[in-house]
């Protein structure tokens, strides 16, 4: 039960007015009765329901009614908000309003109030999780997330990523060694120029002779070797780093994909496919960039920065102090500019993808465009999007053309300082010419890591948030879990029983209400009713794609939730209304039901489903590619493939979601024959539309508003002239109209 903390004055008022009442529910809303942001309080005691406004000076209830005078209490879903509506003898009252963010909390509260009204104790199982507020930052945590995204320790995320790298520790070690070796080689080269200028190429002031001339080839070789070494070790590091990064990302990507396959269907109802797609592709891609590019680069830069920094100080600490001025300026510049320029980059790419989406859309809809003569409209739409893209491109290059030279100016001014200040040091004899040359060489090496590290802070933060989103999915627990003591029910008879089943996709909006029905083994049941009555939901529950909210479903007397998942699936075969064919051959699509089936079995199933006859007409026979990029099959052909799939599966219980799409009489006959073969000797539940199917059913259940309102054979129900009769006559009239007009 939700019990938030009431403000003092309201609490006092309640205690004085109703001293012996026990407060059961205390819940705050976030919209006032005037429809603006503000807080109001819903208080339910064991005697009454009250609503208080937080603002009013003298505390008095906005609404108050005794529990016994409530006739009905409901949640009304509005647009972006919702309200609790109470019906009493006086009429309807809209009691309290809240935004969508608080919808589940009020849904639960209304459920609880209903229980209180019935005199029942409040249900403490299967409750909605209350809206979570982060203890640290006091801001709400999004419902689909387990932890506050603002306060999640980025180090922890980094650790979880690194835990995926654990199998590759050896690789990591070698990579770091390669990195150190390459950096060391890189550090030698500028120092060699100092040796060249100060020693080897400097004639002796006394004799004018090059006394170290014989060292020239040696020094040149050292230079060559250090260059080669730098490249060699960098190559090794890159190679190992790539291996490490790609392997780790592969592991993460597989983990997230496997998790998605494990999650219940309800998870996919809550998340948009697009968002999930971007998690799997983009976010893991971001993670990959983090592992393959960012982390090695950061390590390398840090190492370089340290090494070069030390050498700069050793060469001349005074000069280094001067040089720091432009370096600090560079850092500040990068920090402020790049957050801005990033938006321009994103905008550029975003608009490009929007443009290509438009082209994709209009090219696939070309028939409609031509049929309605809307070519001009499409052209102007394209023109607008394309010019948006053009403008984004121009903006980007304009900004970049300003920032880029400024950045380089800062870098170059460092070099100027070296020659000016360093030059004075040379003149005054504080520094050798070679040291200044070496110094400017090191300085150029210093800028790169400075540049990279400044950028990395942003890039790594972003990549880590992407990684967090990935781990969010990996850490999600599926709603439907296999019970620890789940059993294998082996070969079943196929008896099904629904006992007082209540279910809604949104818990507070039940689609199936107290449904009880018993189906004998091998019985053929037809579900009949208007669309939205709950027929498909019954089937979804039967397959345990969702778990019931109340009641239970039994198969051969065993609760669905106690049967092993794989075992349950083995017993049930489904032929769906919209046959989904995967990209692959006809053979693959039929064999999907049982991948290890022999070719003979697949062909027999296709023959039994009357699919064989059209398959042999295809040029590539069973090897014909279907699905998105393959041959397009007609509706009737697809249905027969689905039936073949189910025949191959050979389930005890068969679920049919009959297609409403009309096919010609010949095809219809073929499908009916195939269905007759399929359903014989199995318990069948069919969502039936076709009269022929209805006649063949042993019993019809007429579903209305989540309940069974009639049941009996086709003839019985027609004779009864009830709900079913009405449905049939309506359909008949409709088909007669079609027949006349057609």
Partner 1 sequence: MNTLNATKISFNKSKKTSPLSITLEDGSVVKDVHCVRLFPLSEPDTFISVVRREDGHLREIGIIRKLKELTSEQQRLVRQDIKLRYFVPEIKDINKITARHGLYEWDVVTGRGNKNFSLRSIRENIAVNDKGMIIITDLERCRYKITDCERLPVKARTELDQVLL
Q: Which residues make up the interface to partner 1 (CB under 8 A)?
A: 31, 33-38, 62-63, 78-81, 83, 91-95, 97, 99-101, 131, 139-140, 142-143, 149-150, 152, 274-275, 278, 339-340, 343, 346-347, 350-351, 381, 384, 461-462, 464-466, 468-469, 705
Q: How far is the CB of 36 from partner 1 (least distance, A)?
A: 4
Contact 136, 151 (CB under 8 A): yes
Nearest-angstrom CA–CA distance, 567 and 604: 25
15 versus 71: smaller Cβ distance to partner 1? 71
522 versus 536: smaller Cβ distance to partner 1? 536
233 versus 389: smaller Cβ distance to partner 1? 389
DSSP class of 509 = S
Question: What are the backbone angles phi and psi of residue 347, rounded to the nearest 5°?
Answer: -60, -45
Nearest-angstrom CA–CA distance, 724 and 718: 7
Q: How far is the CB of 62 from partner 1 (least distance, A)?
A: 8
Nearest-angstrom CA–CA distance, 333 and 325: 12
Sign of the Cα torsion 428, 430, 434, 438 reads negative
Q: How far is the CB of 35 from partner 1 (least distance, A)?
A: 4
Q: How far is the CB of 142 from partner 1 (least distance, A)?
A: 4
DSSP class of 63 = E
61 versus 597: smaller Cβ distance to partner 1? 61
Query: Closest by alpha carbon to 541, among 530, 531, 533, 549?
Result: 549
425 versus 471: smaller Cβ distance to partner 1? 471
For 725, residues 6+ apart whose C-beta sits below 8 A from its C-beta are: 717, 718
465 versus 549: smaller Cβ distance to partner 1? 465
**Tokens 């409609």 appear where?**
368
448 versus 513: smaller Cβ distance to partner 1? 513
Q: How far is CA 739 from CA 521, 695, 732, 733, in A?
A: 39, 21, 10, 10
Q: How far is the CB of 553 from partner 1 (least distance, A)?
A: 24
Q: How far is the CB of 96 from partner 1 (least distance, A)?
A: 9
Question: What are the backbone angles phi and psi of residue 53, rounded to the nearest 5°?
Answer: -95, 145
Nearest-angstrom CA–CA distance, 554 and 547: 12
Q: How far is the CB of 107 from partner 1 (least distance, A)?
A: 14
* Other beta carbons within 10 Å of 352: 16
Q: How far is the CB of 600 from partner 1 (least distance, A)?
A: 49
Nearest-angstrom CA–CA distance, 323 and 312: 10
Query: Closest by alpha carbon to 573, among 613, 605, 530?
Result: 605
For 666, residues 6+ apart whose C-beta sits below 8 A from its C-beta are: none
Nearest-angstrom CA–CA distance, 534 and 512: 6
Q: How far is the CB of 281 from partner 1 (least distance, A)?
A: 13
Q: How far is the CB of 350 from partner 1 (least distance, A)?
A: 4
> For residue 641, what are its two tokens?
């493939």
Nearest-angstrom CA–CA distance, 644 and 610: 8
144 versus 500: smaller Cβ distance to partner 1? 144
Contact 613, 652 (CB under 8 A): no
458 versus 567: smaller Cβ distance to partner 1? 458
**Tokens 């070496």 appear where?**
438
Nearest-angstrom CA–CA distance, 507 and 496: 24
> For residue 366, what are its two tokens?
């070309």
Q: How far is the CB of 154 from partner 1 (least distance, A)?
A: 8
Q: How far is the CB of 149 from partner 1 (least distance, A)?
A: 6
2 versus 468: smaller Cβ distance to partner 1? 468
Query: Closest by alpha carbon to 290, among 248, 233, 257, 227?
Result: 248
Contact 586, 624 (CB under 8 A): yes
79 versus 715: smaller Cβ distance to partner 1? 79
Q: How far is the CB of 79 from partner 1 (least distance, A)?
A: 5
131 versus 594: smaller Cβ distance to partner 1? 131
473 versus 641: smaller Cβ distance to partner 1? 473
Contact 674, 659 (CB under 8 A): no
């Amino acid at each position: 039960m939700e019990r938030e903390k009431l403000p003092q004055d309201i609490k006092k008022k309640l205690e004085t007015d109703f001293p012996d009442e026990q407060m059961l529910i205390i819940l705050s809303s976030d919209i006032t009765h005037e429809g603006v942001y503000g807080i109001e309080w819903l208080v339910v005691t064991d005697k009454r329901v009250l609503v208080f406004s937080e603002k009013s000076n003298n505390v008095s209830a906005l609404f108050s009614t005794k529990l016994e005078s409530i006739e009905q209490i409901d949640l009304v879903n509005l647009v972006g908000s919702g309200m609790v509506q109470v019906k009493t003898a006086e009429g309807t009252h809209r009691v309290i309003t809240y935004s969508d963010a608080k919808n589940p909390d009020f849904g639960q509260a209304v459920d609880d109030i209903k229980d209180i009204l019935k005199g029942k104790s409040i249900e403490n199982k299967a409750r909605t999780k209350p809206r979570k507020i982060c203890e640290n930052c006091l801001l709400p945590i999004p419902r689909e997330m387990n932890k506050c995204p603002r306060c999640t320790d980025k180090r922890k995320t980094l650790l979880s990523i690194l835990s995926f790298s654990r199998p590759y520790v050896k690789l990591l070690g070698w990579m770091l060694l390669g990195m150190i070796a390459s950096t060391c080689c890189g550090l030698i080269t500028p120092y060699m120029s100092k040796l060249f200028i100060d020693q080897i190429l400097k004639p002796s002031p006394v004799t004018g002779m090059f006394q170290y001339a014989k060292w020239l080839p040696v020094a040149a070789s050292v230079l060559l070797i250090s260059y080669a070494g730098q490249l060699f070790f960098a190559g090794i590091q890159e190679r190992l780093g790539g291996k490490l990064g790609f392997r780790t990302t592969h592991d993460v990507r597989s983990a997230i994909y496997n998790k998605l396959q494990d999650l219940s269907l309800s998870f996919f109802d809550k998340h948009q496919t697009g968002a999930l797609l971007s998690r799997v592709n983009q976010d893991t891609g971001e993670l990959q960039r983090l592992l393959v590019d960012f982390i090695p680069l950061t390590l390398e830069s840090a190492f370089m920065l340290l090494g070069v920094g030390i050498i700069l100080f050793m060469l001349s600490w005074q000069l280094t102090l001067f040089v720091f001025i432009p370096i600090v300026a560079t850092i500040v510049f990068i920090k402020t500019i790049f957050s801005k320029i990033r938006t321009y980059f994103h905008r550029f790419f975003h608009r490009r993808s929007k443009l290509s989406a438009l082209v994709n859309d209009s090219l696939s809809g070309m028939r409609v465009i031509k049929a309605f003569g809307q070519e001009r409209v499409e052209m102007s739409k394209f023109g607008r999007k394309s010019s948006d893209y053009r403008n984004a491109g121009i903006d980007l290059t304009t900004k970049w053309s300003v920032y880029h030279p400024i950045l380089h100016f800062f870098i170059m001014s460092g070099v100027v300082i070296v020659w000016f200040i360093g030059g004075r040091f040379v003149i005054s004899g504080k520094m050798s010419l070679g040291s200044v040359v070496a110094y400017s060489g090191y300085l150029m090496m210093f800028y790169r890591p400075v540049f990279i590290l400044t950028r990395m802070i942003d890039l790594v933060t972003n990549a880590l948030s992407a990684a967090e989103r990935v781990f969010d999915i990996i850490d999600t627990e599926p709603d439907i879990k296999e019970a620890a003591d789940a059993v294998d029910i082996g070969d079943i008879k196929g008896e099904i029983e629904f006992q007082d089943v209540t279910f809604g996709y949104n818990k507070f909006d039940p689609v199936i209400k107290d449904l009880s029905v018993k189906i004998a083994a091998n019985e053929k049941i037809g579900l009949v009713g208007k669309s939205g009555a709950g027929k498909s939901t019954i089937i979804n529950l039967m397959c345990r794609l969702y778990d019931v909210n109340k009641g239970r479903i039994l198969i051969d007397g065993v609760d669905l939730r106690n049967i092993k998942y794989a075992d349950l699936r083995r017993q049930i075969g489904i032929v769906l209304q919209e046959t989904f064919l995967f990209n692959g051959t006809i053979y693959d699509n039929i064999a999907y039901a049982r991948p290890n089936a022999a070719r003979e079995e697949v062909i027999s199933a296709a023959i039994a489903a009357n699919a064989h006859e059209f398959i042999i007409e295809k040029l590539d026979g069973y090897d014909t590619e279907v699905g998105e990029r393959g041959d397009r099959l007609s509706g009737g052909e697809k249905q027969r493939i689905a039936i073949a799939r189910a025949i191959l599966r050979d389930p005890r219980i068969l679920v049919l979601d009959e297609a409403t799409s009309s096919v010609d009489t010949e095809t219809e006959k073929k499908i009916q024959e195939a269905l007759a073969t399929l359903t014989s000797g199995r318990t069948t539940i069919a969502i039936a539309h076709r009269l022929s199917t209805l006649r063949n059913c042993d019993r019809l259940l007429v579903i209305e508003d989540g309940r069974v309102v009639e049941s009996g054979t086709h003839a019985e129900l027609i004779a009864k002239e009830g709900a079913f009769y009405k449905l049939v006559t309506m359909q008949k009239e409709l088909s007669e109209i079609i027949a006349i007009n057609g």
